[in-house]
Structure 1
Amino acid sequence: MLRKVKVVEYEKSWQEQFRHELEKLKKAVGDNWIDGHHIGSTSIKGMAAKPIIDILLEVKQISKLDECSHLFSELGYESLGENGLKGRRFFRKGGLQRSHHVHAYEAGHEDVKKHVVFRDYLRAAPERAKDYADKKCQLAKAHPEDMASYMNGKNTIIKEIEQETYNWSKQFGTNDQFR
């Protein structure tokens, strides 16, 4: 059975789902915890998204997450290691009916700031968030059973928004992570 591509209208409950899950994750991570951020499309008020809560965790030592991955399993997560991104630990929950993704990084990793600034830019630029949401809706309709085509179809607009994010972040002096 394949995972379906489903993009839905924004749901207010996503913020509460994030906070609820973050509390459980914070307990699992314990004294290795630094911070947690709601990222991805569900973190952008009003934006259509796949109904999967993306959570970015900052931890003191990434290797300690490997030692406590059984605690993530107890919360229903599957550990996928780096899953293609060096320095990250990736966990997913819900199988084919995904509900949560956890992207964990050691504090100071360049991808932490990159994800947070990308989110903040879309929050500050609702017209671009709408463009991105419209593209995702179009792709979901065109490829309802082809997640790879859906993901590949987003690449161009993501790259455009990343460039805009880089330019936008210059005013705050936070653009080093995009080089």
Structure 2
Amino acid sequence: MQPIEICAWRPEWPTQFAVKAKLIRSVLDAHAMRIDHIGSTAIRGLAAKPIIDIQISVADLQSVEVLRERMTAIGYVWRPSNADLTKRYFREAPGNERTHVHVRGRGSWSEQWSLLFRDYMRAHAHEHAPYAELKRALAARYQNDRVALHRGQVRTPLDNYPSCRSLGGPNRLAAGPVRRLTARATASASTLRPVPGRPAPCRACIPSRPDFQNKRPRTNRGLFFGS
């Protein structure tokens, strides 16, 4: 297992996502209702693990046989042992660029949380430094324990976790972005206009055609970039 690495944001990450998402769209077509760049690599300026996180939203999470066949055909590895029952999970093949593909049900809380977190952090650059500080501290403590790192980053409330509490005390961490996110991001989402036939809106999702970058997507079958 590779040690956990937190590095400065890299401008090539959105391009890497776009290339991967286009290939995924070509094989999944309408089976993927949307394809989004999520995680820290999707947030310009935020330090991150050098892993492209891709979220595929599907109508039925239980019917994944077609996705598994087609994703395997383009080089992704199905991870049936994934313990998170809210998603299905693929990884890059050995030797390829590090990529995590999360397949989640359209409109589910786990799908929306990833989008809300990304959009909140994009809109609040002042939150980047404390969140990056937390990630680096957790990475130093849990170099070979990715589960503990993930819990420290995204589970709330943070002061329930001894690992986070010992990194600076619950009062300091309570001022961080993760603890505030649930109330603020959910409130922000309520101000966005819903689109019939779509899950809760995500302001940053755009279709692949560059001339649509400032327009609302018109079809569920388009390729959506989260960058």
Q: 1:119 to 1:82 in 2, by over 3 A?
A: farther
Partner of 1:86: 85
Name the structure 1 match of 2:177. Answer: 161
Q: Which residue of 2 aligns with 1:128?
A: 127
Q: Deviations over 1:67-89 (max 9, x none)?
A: 33132123221111372222411
In structure 1, runs of 5+ residues without a counterpart are none
Q: What is the Cα deviation at residue 129 of structure 1?
A: 2.1
**In 1: Cα distance, 2:80 partner to 2:58 partner:** 15
Q: Is the 8 A contact 2:130 2:177 kept in 1?
A: no
What residue is the counterpart of 2:207 in the other structure? Answer: none
Aligned to 1:11: 10
Which residue does 2:187 correspond to in 1? 170
CA positional deviation for 1:20: 0.6
- Seq. identity, %: 25
Amino acid at match of 1:161: P
CA distance in 2, matches of 1:86, 1:72: 19
Other structure's SS at 1:73 match: helix
Deviations 1:23-68 (A, max 9, x none): 1111221221211111101011011111000011112333443233
**5 Å matches for 1:1-179?**
2-81=1-80, 83-95=82-94, 99-154=98-153, 155=155, 156=158, 161-168=177-184, 169-173=186-190
Which residue of the partner structure matches residue 209 of structure 2? none
The TM-score with structure 2 as length reference comes to 0.66
Q: For residues 75 and 163 of structure 1, what CA distance do their matches in structure 2 show?
A: 38
CA change 1:143–1:69 in 2 (3 A) is same
Question: Which structure has more helix as a fraction of its residues?
Answer: 1
Q: SS in structure 2 opposite 1:62? A: coil
Instruction: Decide whether aligned partners of structure 1 residues 51 and 20 sit closer, same or farther in structure 2, where only a CA change above 3 A counts.
Output: same
Question: Which 4+ runs in 1 deviate beyond 4 A?
Answer: 94-98, 157-160
2:205 paired residue number = none
Contact 1:57 1:104 in 2 (8 A): yes
Work out whether residues 17 and 37 of structure 2, in 8 Å CA contact, stay in contact via their aligned partners in 1: yes
Is contact 1:81–1:88 with CA below 8 Å preserved after alignment?
Answer: no
Aligned 8 A contact 1:38 1:54 in 2: yes
Distance 1:38 1:6, change over 3 A: same
CA distance in 2, matches of 1:111, 1:148: 17
Q: Compute the TM-score of the two structures, normalised by the length of structure 1.
A: 0.82
Contact 1:32 1:64 in 2 (8 A): no
User: Aligned partners of 1:53, 1:72: CA distance in 2, in Å?
Assistant: 16
Change (3 A) 1:149 1:171: closer
Q: Is the 8 A contact 1:3 1:97 kept in 2?
A: no
Query: Aligned residues, how many?
Result: 174
Matched AA of 2:9: Y
Q: What CA distance in whole angstroms lies between the structure 1 residues aligned with 2:151 and 2:182?
A: 22
